[in-house]
Amino acid sequence: MPNDYLIGTGIYDVTGPAAELGMMGMASIDQKTEGIHSRLFARAFIVHDQSSGKRVVIISADIWSCTLAIKVEVVKRLRSIYGNDLYTIENVLLSGTHTHSGPGGYSHYALYNLSILGFDKQNFECIVNGMVQAIKKAHENLAPGKIFINRGDVEDCGNNRSPIAYDQNPASEKAKYGANTDKEMLLIKFVKIDGTEIGCINWYAIHPTNRGNKNKLITGDNKGYASYLFEKEKGTNIQNKETFIAAFANSNCGDISGNVKYGIPDLVHDFERMKEYGEKQFSKAKELYSSASNHLTGSVDYRHTHIDFSKIQIEGTNNRTDPAALGASMFAGSTEDSKSEFGIIEGIKATITGDYPAGQKNIILEAINLLSGLLTGFKVPGILEDEMKNGHKPKPIILAQGLAEPFPLSPEILPLQILRIGNLVLLGTPFELTTMAGRRLRETTLNILKSSGVDSVALATYANAYAGYVTTKEEYDIQHYEGASTHFGPYTLMALQQEFGKLAIAMKDGKSVPAGPEPKDLSKEQTNLQTGVLTDTQPWPWIPFGTPQTDVDSFYKAGSTVKVIFWGAHPKNNLRTQGTFLEVQMKVGDKWITIFNDNDSCTIYEWKRDFIANSKITVTWNIPADTKQGEYRICHFGDYRDVSGNIKPYTGISGTFKIGESAAVNEISFKNSSGKQVELWFYHPNDWLRWSAYSHHILKKDENYVWKLPSGWGKAQVRFTGPGKWKTVSGGESIIINLNGEIKNLDS
């Protein structure tokens, strides 16, 4: 029989600043946020074993990775709410999906804040608060329930981006597996005793990099899109106390990408390719969810420790890890996902002396000079001891960030964590593991724990901290991007297997493990070179915030695109957490009903600076093909900062428009029955002072006249000279001027 578990789930918004904050993952200084294509969420799962009293927390968040700073602060706040013993550093696992299209600046280590231009307190607070709130919801929703497990292969969903490195692994080892990627998705399903389905989480290995390093819109990429599809189908409402959640967590995706199939993202096809890989993950997850029938059974348990990865001795050998360093090919980037900004190639190995190869030396030195210029206040050794060079061979060290002073530029004391839920074990690792590295780590752990009833091991990567890649020794020696980005040298995987093995043995034997060395507290060592929001201004004093600069047309067909530009303000003033910067509304009776917001894949919210402190907000709605005929409008919500620093909300509303079959609603028809000549003067609908007419027409006696609205207007201000009246007229209307000069709609 299944164990007597209490289960609970929760979801909360972690969408950071949507303008002028560097994105994490591609390390491109030019890639700063300029809007939202989908919101980012933290999804929390709590499992409590009523027999032992132990519980575990799992979070998968739509962020690049958890960091040490995030983990420490989340646990600190949980302890302030629930006391010191309920939610701790040992039983809380915080992981990121590894989207490369989310705002950064939330690490306390300078290497990860370089391209962001420092630590960003606002984004850090957004992520921490979102994770805490998601856990609080899950805690409040705890109730008896069952957990089901299922697994299956996802076909044609990512390729190995470094097959040359993978092929260096032993032939006998490769022969055990059917492919050079792990195709298996492992899913667990949460159902309360009363039958309420409250969520699922799965682990599948693929890089969420379909949107590329030219994209500037916040999005969860393929994994975020998969969550969106699942939750949309289940009617998820993040405002509810309890709602269904679907987390698509990552696994050993270090050498797996969806871009191998198509090439480097080009900003043209990226969204469709993201959808393709998101839909494949969603379809498999839905299938596994629907057919899941095997229960997780057994106790809940956990082990956690901190390890100094800069000096792990591999037991029984003379091999060890070394202080963190990056190789030359790290600056090539993943060449399948982006193009190197330095002109460096993959596969650069050190010479016999450990120096840079001659053909790439000048380019590498230029990259070092650029880094040195950015690392203000740090001293990084340029001349390395032979011991350090030999420890990382054949990596030609381009940056020895582990030797930086006054403290390392990336973490060396790292958390390792095992969570057990019955026959399933999760390995919380702060690394990016390649396919074969992940297989070896899973096998090591399973061999130890299978005799105690464990038959499934999932790799929860990007968890609790981040410290680069881990490859096999054979892959490392080829020095592709992944090997050059393995911080602690060629024996990192062996060290990881060794230390996780110790945790697994302790769990098997029911013994505790040492806490390990305390990570450095760098919270007071942070700098920020980013620009803040001083004030927001209007283009003219008489134009309120939220005024459409370019309004909608009067008519659209389903499948076409609506676009409206508002005079707005900077989104850093209010992140609109758990809210939205836009709504698409449909008129039902005499009420306007919201049908889409800024989390929906058919909408886009974009910000652009105009002049010095003006902002233009573009809202795009790609009308779904199945949209009903009717009347619609676009709303924009924002907040502006005045010269005194006060932040005030505003709302912008577009003109109304119709969705239907006929394009005639782009026109206004006039019939003159007044018995005399009438002059028509046409003005922009938002020309507040009516300075000048856009066009003019003399409407003769008994004349019928059709005027076509300019694109983006939707309606017009019309002055009728003769009757001497003004009227706002929308596209599709038919106007008649009667004998007494009365101006009426023909259909009224």
Q: Catalytic residue positions? A: 257
Quick check: bond before 394 cis, omega within 30? yes
Q: In terms of Cα–Cα distance, which of 554, 570, 705 is closest to 650?
A: 570
3-state SS track over 299-328: CEEEEEEEEECCCCECCCCCCECCCCCEEH
Structure token digits, residue 505: 């043995």
CA–CA gap between residue 146 and residue 139 (Å, rounded):
16
CA–CA gap between residue 277 and residue 290 (Å, rounded):
20
Q: What Rg, from alpha-carbon coordinates, does the chain have? A: 29
In what helix (H) or strand (E) does residue 496 lie, and over which residues does it extend?
Answer: helix 492-509
Q: In terms of Cα–Cα distance, which of 97, 27, 56 is closest to 462?
A: 97
Structure token digits, residue 568: 């707005």
How many CB atoms within 10 Å of residue 215? 24
Q: In terms of Cα–Cα distance, which of 120, 141, 492 is closest to 309?
A: 492
3-state SS track over 433-451: ECHHHHHHHHHHHHHHHHH
Give the list of residues 6+ apart from residue 217 with CB closer than 8 angstroms, or none: 33, 34, 35, 36, 37, 101, 211, 604, 606
Three-state DSSP class for residue 112? helix
Parallel, antiparallel or unpaired: strands 469-470 and 432-433: parallel
CA 323 to chain centre: 30
Distances (CA, A) of 743 to 266, 422, 675, 736: 53, 76, 13, 6
Parallel, antiparallel or unpaired: strands 245-250 and 197-204: parallel
CA–CA gap between residue 278 and residue 97 (Å, rounded):
13
- DSSP for 11-75, written as a single string: EEE----SEEEEEESS--TT-EEEEESS--EEEEEEEEETTT--EEEEEEESSS---HHHHHHHH
CA 426 to chain centre: 23
Burial of 288 per CB tally in 10 Å (0-12, 13-18, 19+):
buried
Q: In terms of Cα–Cα distance, which of 681, 676, 673 is closest to 737?
A: 673
**b/e sequence 165-179, b meaning 16+ C-beta within 10 Å:** bbebbeeeeeeeeee
Helical residues (DSSP H) of 120-212, grouped into ranges: 121-140, 163-166, 171-174
Parallel, antiparallel or unpaired: strands 678-683 and 715-721: antiparallel
Distances (CA, A) of 220 to 29, 183, 598: 20, 21, 13
**Cβ proximity of 360 and 350 under 8 Å:** no
**Cβ proximity of 606 and 617 under 8 Å:** yes
Query: What length does the chain have?
Result: 748
Q: Given 3-state DSSP classes, what are the helix, strand and coil percentages for the chain, each rounded to the nearest 5?
A: 20, 30, 45
Q: In terms of Cα–Cα distance, which of 575, 584, 680 is closest to 121?
A: 575
**Cβ proximity of 500 and 571 under 8 Å:** no
CA–CA gap between residue 602 and residue 561 (Å, rounded):
9
